[in-house]
Amino acid sequence: MRWGTDGPALTLVGKGVCFDTGGLNLKPSAGMNLMKKDMGGAATVLGLAQMIMALNLPLRLRVLIPAVENVVSGNALKPKDILTSRKGLTVEVNDTDAEGRLVLADALALACEEDTDLVISMATLTGAARVAVGPDLAPYYTDDTALSAALEAGATAAADPVWRLPFHDPYEPVIEPGIADLDNAPGFGFAGSITAALFLRRFVGTQPYIHFDIYGHTPSDQPARPKGGVGQGARAVLSALPALLNMRTL
């Protein structure tokens, strides 16, 4: 989806796994109970896009949502399959339940095939992020300290808490399996959110990039946050957009 004809270019990419059974690495029943929320990144991106359009912000918006279901079927991915991504990088599929980064990778490669001032991806990507910060905070990654400062200020102003996690370069070798260029589920045992973020960064060009690894769900009723699906990070980004994109004040 594209909207707007003038101003800086913003590309939003949202993981849209409409339901995630785990594929052939089948989740147990308890693990599937919340998996209708695996499109939380796509939903949040759509919500943010709606806010941008409703406010008629002076920018050029592009929204990319890879929408899929991860289910068992005759043509389902198998463990140890080798995929060739849109960017040409090969990926060894060591866990069919790590499907979100596969669809995001191609969407990010597509996003970066044209000039854009900022790329933001949002995804319910890893349980490791929830273990690290719990369900209330939206963890994010960026290599740009100016973008991080702008986002933190926007988050405070909008009462939409975010927390920066590191693109820790020394973990790069962990996502390289030796057979293919990349491993979608390294057996490192640590830093699952960081290694997933490093995987996605391989598919981004030179464009400024922010990645959110959100939970997208409120476990219990909270003030202004009823139990169920919830957008995380969208209001923070909206509040920060003038600084993120050097636009006039909203």
Residues carrying an active site annotation? 27, 101
Nearest to 24 by CA among 71, 87, 64, 58: 71
C-beta of residue 119 within 8 angstroms of C-beta of residue 112: yes
Nearest to 163 by CA among 171, 155, 174, 175: 155
The CA-CA-CA angle for residues 180, 186, 192, to 5°, reads 135
Distances (CA, A) of 229 to 134, 198, 214: 15, 26, 11
Nearest to 240 by CA among 154, 156, 161, 159: 154
